[in-house]
């Protein structure tokens, strides 16, 4: 799809904001390996924390294509900040699409204002790609539920004050899972924070719930609807991970092209070498193809997926874009040479950050399984 003039202008505004407020902090955020409240406050100042939420609950009602534009532009400078923008939406998508009006009214305005942040608690140590094998349990107790279990790979662990937690409410493999919105102060414990290769400014951790009491009013959707809600959510969030991948690839290519124009060897700019020109051209083609897949998947989601295409389109977008990001950022390190291998230059950070896009929100092997299942169904 082609962006409208309004969307192109929106991209220009976001890019100027990112270049001024986010890009100068990206290297320090990576080196410190700490959550940046400065960049989060910058997102709030631009009302980007409200962008993807319904207007009736304090949001801007922006399309998923618009959200992808923001995710891409942020990731072009700093993938960790891009995750600050995306993670609460991931956590709140089940509430938006399956939650009661009361639940939405209570919590979505808090997310939009930036008062609260939300994480998505699906994976477990023995239930990652195979999420239906989860063992976290929720037992009914009057008008409450008692939840016990461990969730891992939780983005924003310890920063978020809200967690969407999926728990087993019966023995049925798929229809025995229910979703709940849990406030951290009710007893969510952070057992561990991971030391990671990339996205070092975004905490990832293990959370534990030991008999945490959650009111039934905080149940998301019907009992047994949790697995369907989880898959519905991932179909709608994967395209924005594709956008993130496109962004970091574009940032790496932009930087390395600028470097090659300035860097001189054998009496001429590096950019005069046809071998490097063709490598860069291949990078540019793949980025543009990835961007097209991402926008198409987002547009399908915005239409409400009338033809049932979103699972396959989202998997294609996420998989192709993240594979592209890994290839482009690796080439970017090569373009910059020895300097590219040092942390004084941004391309090595971009390469480390790009790797996660091939893994989280469903590994690319899982994406290929989704695509193949659709092909052969």
Residue from 115, 208, 104 nearest 154 by CA: 208
Per-position b or e across 10-29, b if 16+ CB within 10 A of its CB: bbeebbebbeebbbebbeeb
352: left (phi over 0), alpha (psi -120 to 50) or beta: alpha
Longest dimension (CA), the chain: 79
Going by their DSSP bridges, the two strands 144-155 and 137-141 should be labelled as antiparallel
Tokens of 148: 């016990």
Q: How far apart are the first and last CA of the chain?
A: 27
- Count CB neighbours of 145 within 10 A: 23
Q: Could you give the CA distance from residue 153 to residue 165 in angstroms, rounded to a whole number?
A: 13
Q: Alpha-carbon torsion 54, 60, 62, 66, what sign?
A: negative
Rounded-to-integer distance, Cα 358 and Cα 242, Å = 9
How remote is the C-alpha of 249 from its chain's centroid? 15
Residues belonging to the active site: 361
User: How many whole angstroms separate alpha carbon 41 and alpha carbon 5?
Assistant: 28
d(CA 336, CA 334): 5
């Amino acid at each position: 799809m082609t962006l409208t003039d309004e969307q192109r202008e929106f991209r220009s505004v976001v890019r100027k904001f990112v270049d001024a407020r986010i890009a100068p902090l990206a290297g320090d955020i990576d080196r410190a390996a700490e959550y940046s409240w400065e960049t989060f406050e910058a997102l709030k100042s631009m009302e980007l924390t409200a962008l993807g939420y319904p207007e009736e609950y304090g949001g801007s009602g922006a399309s998923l294509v618009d959200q992808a534009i923001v995710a891409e532009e942020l990731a072009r400078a700093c993938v960790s900040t891009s995750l600050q923008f995306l993670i609460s939406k991931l956590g709140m998508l089940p509430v938006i699409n399956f939650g009661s009006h009361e639940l939405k009214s209570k919590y979505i305005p808090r997310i939009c204002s930036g008062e609260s942040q939300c994480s998505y608690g699906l994976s477990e140590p023995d239930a990652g790609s195979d999420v239906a094998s989860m063992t976290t349990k929720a037992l009914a107790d009057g008008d409450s539920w008692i939840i016990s279990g461990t969730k891992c790979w939780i983005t924003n662990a310890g920063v978020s004050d809200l967690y969407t937690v999926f728990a087993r409410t019966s023995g049925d493999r798929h229809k025995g899972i229910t979703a709940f919105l849990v406030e951290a102060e009710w007893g969510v414990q952070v057992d561990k924070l991971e030391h990671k290769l990339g996205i070092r400014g975004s905490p990832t951790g293990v959370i534990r719930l030991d008999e945490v009491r959650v009111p039934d009013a905080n149940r998301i959707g019907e009992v047994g609807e949790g697995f369907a809600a989880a898959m519905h959510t991932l179909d709608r969030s994967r395209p924005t991970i594709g956008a993130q991948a496109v962004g970091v690839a574009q940032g790496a290519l932009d930087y390395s092209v600028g470097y090659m124009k300035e860097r001189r060897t054998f009496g001429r700019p590096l950019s005069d070498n046809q071998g490097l020109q063709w490598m860069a051209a291949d990078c540019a083609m793949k980025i543009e193809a990835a961007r097209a897949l991402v926008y198409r998947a987002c547009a399908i989601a915005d239409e409400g997926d009338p033809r049932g295409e979103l699972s396959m389109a989202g998997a294609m977008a996420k998989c192709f874009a993240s594979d592209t990001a890994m290839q482009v950022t690796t080439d970017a390190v090569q373009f910059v040479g020895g300097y590219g291998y040092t942390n004084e230059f941004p391309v090595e950070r971009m390469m480390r950050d790009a790797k996660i896009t091939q893994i989280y929100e469903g590994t690319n092997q899982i994406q290929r399984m989704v695509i193949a299942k659709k092909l052969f169904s």
